[in-house]
A = this chain, B = another copy of it.
């Protein structure tokens, strides 16, 4: 009952609080057991979708994306990159929303939620182990999917995911990646595996190691990985000030 009231207010009055016609959608990437995953939501009575939300009337879109991400993952200060805008005039959740309202027995004829939305696309890189997947009020599930085995998604969300992956692959050439995706200390083979998984292709081991070390963003530790059959690989960690500098200034890797 309380939920119905809240929901009705959102459909009837939400445009007093949020900007009309504009939304944010984030492709949340996590890395686990050598698999690149995406966090998706399943609407009650409905299909899977990216994690999205609206922009408050006095809010930066980046701040809106961070706010929504915190609600879905429990994490703050996530690495977030705006990469594209999706503005096909036929983008509208009108039918989805109307079906949803019908299913739960709520009748609303006119709503800002039935209008066209241009969505600002972000991708986020998060520490899989630290995420506490949390559905929003309109959803019944929030789960990780391997990028090779994604379910059907609403609207153009599959396309948004593909564009996000393409942007992430491009960014790999300019910006360090890994701080939010790997454990604090990691071996060179683990770092290489991350790059290979994102790029979807094998990389030459010696070339990769040489180039990564040349970037200056890695610190080699004294410690080696235990329980490895042959030559035990050294652990590395990121030199965070240098990593952050490279994030800002860019770097050429490949």
Query: A interface vs B, CB < 8 Å?
Result: 19-22, 55, 57-62, 82, 84-85, 87-89, 116, 118, 120, 170, 173-174, 250, 252, 254
Contact = CB atoms under 8 A, between A and B. Distances in A.
Nearest to A252: B254
Given A60-B89, A173-B173, A252-B254, 20 more contacts: A19-B21, A19-B118, A20-B20, A20-B21, A22-B118, A55-B87, A57-B116, A58-B89, A59-B89, A60-B87, A60-B88, A61-B85, A61-B87, A82-B84, A82-B85, A85-B85, A118-B120, A170-B170, A170-B174, A173-B174
Contacts of A57: 89, 116
Contacts of A120: 85, 87, 118
A252 B172 CA distance: 13
20 contacts: A19-B118, A20-B20, A21-B22, A55-B118, A57-B89, A57-B116, A58-B89, A58-B116, A59-B89, A60-B88, A60-B89, A61-B85, A61-B87, A61-B118, A82-B85, A85-B120, A87-B120, A170-B170, A170-B174, A173-B173
A114 to B, nearest CB: 14
A81 to B, nearest CB: 10
A162 to B, nearest CB: 14
Nearest to A21: B19
Contacts of A58: 89, 116
B87 A62 contact: yes
A55 B85 CA distance: 13
Contacts of A254: 252
List the 9 closest pairs (A to B, CB-CB), nearest first.
A61-B87, A58-B89, A19-B21, A85-B120, A60-B87, A20-B20, A60-B89, A22-B118, A85-B85
A88 B170 CA distance: 26
A142 to B, nearest CB: 26
Of A62, A89, A174, which is in contact with the most chain B CB atoms at under 10 Å from its CB? A89
Contacts of A19: 21, 116, 118
Contacts of A84: 82
A62 B57 CA distance: 24
A85 to B, nearest CB: 5
Contacts of A87: 55, 60-62, 120
A174 B252 CA distance: 12
A59 B174 CA distance: 33
